[in-house]
Amino acid sequence: MSKSTEASDFVDQQEEYKYGFFSDIESDVAPPGLNEDIVRLISSKKEEPEWMLEWRLEAFRAWEQMNARDGEPRWAQVKFPPIDYQAISYYAAPKDKKTLESLDEVDPELLATFDKLGISLNEQKRLSGVAVDAVFDSVSVATTFKGALADVGVIFCSFSEALREHPDLVRKYLGTVVPVRDNFYATLNSAVFSDGSFCYIPAGVRCPMELSTYFRINAANTGQFERTLIVAEEGAHVSYLEGCTAPMRDENQLHAAVVELVAMPGANIKYSTVQNWYPGDKDGKGGIYNFVTKRGKCMDNAKISWTQVETGSAITWKYPSVVLQGDNSVGEFYSVAVTNNMQQADTGTKMVHLGKNTKSTIISKGISAGKAQQSYRGLVQISPKAENARNYSQCDSLLLGDKCGAHTFPYIDVRNASAQVEHEASTSKIGEDQLFYCRQRGLSEEDAVSMIVNGFCKEVFKELPMEFAVEAQALLGISLEGAVG
Amino acid sequence: MLKIRNLHAQVDGKDILKGITLDVKAGEVHAVMGPNGSGKSTLACVLTGREGYVVTKGSVEFEGQDLLAMAPEERAREGVFLSFQYPVEIPGMSTAYFLKAAVNAVRKHHGLDALDAMDFLKLAKEKAKLVHMDESFLNRSVNEGFSGGEKKRNEIFQMTMLEPKLAILDETDSGLDVDALRTVSEGVNAMRSPERAMIVITHYQRLLDHIKADMTHVLSDGRIVKSGGPELALEVEAKGYGWIAGDSQAGHSELAKVAKAVEGPAS
Ligand SMILES: Nc1ncnc2c1ncn2[C@@H]1O[C@H](COP(=O)(O)OP(=O)(O)OP(=O)(O)O)[C@@H](O)[C@H]1O
Ligand SMILES: [Mg+2]
């Protein structure tokens, strides 16, 4: 009896997190610990310019102060033991050090890993219209379609490469949206970030294909601190996707990324995320701490749209935000967050209206199952000069079972009387009666749950690029397996 | 088709069904009447496998199979359909999407190809006409914001789409205006066939004016206290349940005998 139970648990686990394999790739790992020498080591490993090292060191000193004064922020509705920042290794890279000229030079084991994730770099290169940058343990290993993009002047490469090839561009925009001292994790990231993606779309150019980055944490005991910077010059358009997975490990791993988006006048940036970091096991053992700062800045008539489907991580702490600095600029946030078992999420957005006639839309769908706790935390701020600003927020929570929780913390700060701010919230529950009704019509319980959940999320899914929408739906099914009953 | 033998069932530890024995053959329509709280809906829930309804004794055979051993969705796919007394709302799920999945789950079970969106819509529009439903409801969320009467119509519409072998209609007539009652009854009558059986739970003769039952049963306190032809329904309508209750001892012992015979000497 107990044997078969264990066996089924094991099978369940496989099903639940199918990306939990570990790749046996030799990697170059820095010893655990955080100090100036480590920051210098990272910078020198990456052969960075001097100003970059100085920038990192400034961040590191700021972080040390923050850490000594208050430690990590504790205002979010999540619980976790203090993190020992000296026990983490801040740099891990696949060993093969030489710069890669093409995909053919990538370690075959690495390519196999991405194949397993359903991202065949070779296939993608040949078939689809998606350019992929693959980041493995903080280091970008392959970027596809570079040539085709270069023809229209689009730069899409790893952050390290950008620092080597386009240092002036990076220097001009880095930290302009998320300053070095923005918050504890962003400051930490500024000190130790190892890689990430850089995109630059010149004025007037519509990026001819979706740009996408896949992040994979592989090495044990390492943190992942990637940095993404996207700049869309005047009138430029770009759609960017990121996907994330990690192996199953018993210890928690820290992921503290920073994403900065710059939308110059009339530019349009669409940023989509499917986040599926390892969520930990049923009892809450292991899993990624996902403490991420994402922010975009819109100049006149520009638009930034964040769309995210978050099913992974033991703890999620992130608030993709838009600073609507220019007149007539538009910010959007579409989010589906799923928490099951012992997962915790405190997530939402900030829409900061500075310019006139600025407009923002927030659609947040939270799904909780098992013993998971989820909070929506959203700020809508209308500054005194933001004439005729408009915001519409809708936060819906769906509960599966009665051991989970959903909380909503809207912060509305209006300092201009012409503003129109609307906030709607709802909480519903997949009830036994709904499931029985579906089953009485011949649907299995799993299908019924996934149909109800997909219906609940459809306003967000329709914002995702096609191929991601399919992936997102499948992910939701996996994440909620066995969540009812 | 359906053989219920000495069925006992509990809800929350409370005995609700206290020995129901009933045979329904293909092609027959059985009316089940009885005062509020007598166990009519409970019987429907037990037959369709709703959670929380615990069978403590007895058996149910459907087409030669042990119905009680099957999961609710298996029963549905095998052809047991319940028109709910209180149809459930499912916000965010369109009726068309929901029903297409249901129809295809049943088809798959019988080894048939899935209907594609075009074929499904064609069929759905045809059947919607039958119960005079506006096509637009196909795009609305299942039962959400439907009026009481529309919900009942939607139940019958789903029945015509799913073409069950055994349909259990739990107070499908309540909440319907006169015209709706007629269209719903027409929908039900159109479904009558020698291969199909129906159990029609109702309080009113007015439904049975439209849907002619072969047999009528009166349920009281979890037992069938009287069975008869269509005339029994008329009598109930005229005299209420009191006269049967007085007679119920006789009804009881008679049924008890049947139940004994069924259980056999072994028990
Ligand atoms: N969860 C429950 N706990 C205790 N008693 C219950 C529960 N559910 C139903 N019952 C009881 O079971 C009995 C039968 O209920 P049922 O719904 O089957 O009656 P009914 O014959 O369908 O009545 P109506 O004509 O009003 O629809 C009632 O006394 C009801 O209160
Ligand atoms: Mg009832």
Number of other CB atoms surrounding residue A147 within 10 Å: 8
| Ligand nearest the Cα atom of residue B14 | 1
Q: Quick one: closest CA in A to B48, which residue?
A: A440
Q: So what's the pLDDT on residue A191?
A: 94
**d(Cα A318, Cα A257) in Å, to the nearest integer?**
10
Tell me if B252 sits within 8 A of B225, measured CB to CB.
yes
The reply to whether A51 touches chain B by the CB within 8 Å rule is: no
Would you call B98 and A438 a contact, using CB atoms and an 8 Å cutoff?
yes
Task: Tell me the three state secondary structure of residue A136.
Answer: strand
**ipTM for this prediction:** 0.91
Task: Tell me the three state secondary structure of residue A352.
Answer: strand
**d(Cα A284, Cα A340) in Å, to the nearest integer?**
10
E strand segments, A188-236: 197-201, 210-216, 227-232
The CATH number of whichever domain residue B221 belongs to comes to: 3.40.50.300
Higher-scoring residue by pLDDT: A368, A14: A368
* H or E, element range at A19: none
Please tell me the distance between residue A53's alpha carbon and the centre of ligand 2 in angstroms: 75
A100: left (phi over 0), alpha (psi -120 to 50) or beta: beta
Please tell me the distance between residue B39's alpha carbon and the centre of ligand 2 in angstroms: 7
B78-96 average pLDDT score: 93
Sheet of B166-170, strand order: B80-83, B166-170, B197-201, B29-33, B215-220, B223-228
For chain B, the domain total comes to: 1
Q: So what's the pLDDT on residue B228?
A: 92
**d(Cα B21, Cα A205) in Å, to the nearest integer?**
77
The reply to whether B161 touches chain A by the CB within 8 Å rule is: no
Task: Give, using CA atoms, the residue closest to atom 17 of ligand 1.
Answer: B41
| Residue B10 within a domain | yes
Distance from CA of B160 to the nearest CA of A (A): 12
Q: So what's the pLDDT on residue A244?
A: 65
Would you call B90 and A432 a contact, using CB atoms and an 8 Å cutoff?
no
Q: Which of A334, A324, A328 is nearest to A361 (CA)?
A: A334
pLDDT in tens, A289-306: 888 999 999 999 999 999
pLDDT in tens, A189-217: 999 998 888 999 999 999 988 887 776 66
User: Which residues sit opposite A284 in a β-bridge?
Assistant: none
In the predicted structure, residue B96 carries a pLDDT above the cut 90? yes
Residues with CB under 6 A from ligand 1: B 11-12, 14, 16, 34, 36-42, 85
Q: Quick one: closest CA in B to A445, which residue?
A: B73
Q: So what's the pLDDT on residue A9?
A: 31
Q: So what's the pLDDT on residue B74?
A: 97
User: Given B77, B93, B106, which is nearest A451 (Cβ)?
Assistant: B93
Task: Tell me the three state secondary structure of residue B88.
Answer: coil
User: Given A428, A436, A451, which is nearest B91 (Cβ)?
Assistant: A428
Q: Which of A112-121, A122-131, A210-219, B100-109 has the highest mean pLDDT?
A: B100-109
Q: B136: which DSSP letter?
A: G
Higher-scoring residue by pLDDT: A97, B172: B172
Please return the burial class of A166, using the count of CB atoms within 10 Å of its CB with bins 0-12, 13-18 and 19+: middle
Which two structure tokens, joined as six digits, stand for B223? 């037992």
Distance from CA of B77 to the nearest CA of A (A): 5
In single-letter form, the type of residue at position A418 comes to S
Please tell me the distance between residue A11's alpha carbon and the centre of ligand 1 in angstroms: 41
Q: Quick one: closest CA in B to A459, which residue?
A: B92
State the closest ligand 1 atom to the C-alpha of B222, by its place in the atom list counted from 1: 14
User: Given B72, B87, B109, which is nearest A439 (Cβ)?
Assistant: B72
> Could you tell me the pLDDT band of residue A435, with boundaries at 50, 70 and 90?
very high
Q: B38: which DSSP letter?
A: S
Task: Tell me the three state secondary structure of residue A22.
Answer: coil
B204-227 average pLDDT score: 92
Mutate which: A398, A441, A461, vs B, most B CBs within 10 A: A441
Q: A31: which DSSP letter?
A: P
pLDDT in tens, A315-324: 888 999 999 9
Task: Give, using CA atoms, the residue closest to atom 8 of ligand 1.
Answer: B11
> Could you tell me the pLDDT band of residue A341, with boundaries at 50, 70 and 90?
confident
| Residue B267 within a domain | no
User: Given B51, B102, B141, which is nearest A443 (Cβ)?
Assistant: B102
Mutate which: A434, A436, A460, vs B, most B CBs within 10 A: A436
pLDDT in tens, A42-61: 898 888 999 999 999 999 99
| Ligand nearest the Cα atom of residue B33 | 1
Please tell me the distance between residue B41's alpha carbon and the centre of ligand 2 in angstroms: 4
In the predicted structure, residue A363 carries a pLDDT above the cut 60? yes
B 9-68 residues with CB < 8 A to A? 48-52
Would you call B105 and A442 a contact, using CB atoms and an 8 Å cutoff?
yes
Q: Which of B233, B237, B217, B213 is nearest to B225 (CA)?
A: B217
In the predicted structure, residue A63 carries a pLDDT above the cut 80? yes
Residue with token string 């053992």: A285
pLDDT in tens, B105-142: 999 999 999 999 999 999 999 999 988 889 899 999 99
Distance from CA of A448 to the nearest CA of B (A): 9
State the closest ligand 1 atom to the C-alpha of B43, by its place in the atom list counted from 1: 18
Instruction: Give backbone dihedrals phi and psi of B73, rounded to 5 degrees, phi first.
Output: -70, -30
Would you call A445 and B73 a contact, using CB atoms and an 8 Å cutoff?
yes
**d(Cα A232, Cα A261) in Å, to the nearest integer?**
8
Please tell me the distance between residue B39's alpha carbon and the centre of ligand 1 in angstroms: 6
The mean pLDDT of chain A is 81
Helix and strand counts by DSSP (H, E) for chain A: 12, 23
Please tell me the distance between residue B43's alpha carbon and the centre of ligand 2 in angstroms: 9
**d(Cα A86, Cα B250) in Å, to the nearest integer?**
85
Q: Which of B198, B170, B169, B173 is nearest to B183 (CA)?
A: B173
User: Given B72, B89, B93, which is nearest A440 (Cβ)?
Assistant: B72
Domain limits for position B211? 2-262
Q: Residue A442: CA atoms inside 13 Å, Cβ hemisphere, count? A: 25
Task: Give, using CA atoms, the residue closest to atom 22 of ligand 1.
Answer: B41
Please tell me the distance between residue B253's alpha carbon and the centre of ligand 1 in angstroms: 24
Task: Give, using CA atoms, the residue closest to atom 7 of ligand 1.
Answer: B11
pLDDT in tens, B145-158: 999 889 999 999 99
Q: Which of B50, B60, B46 is nearest to B9 (CA)?
A: B46
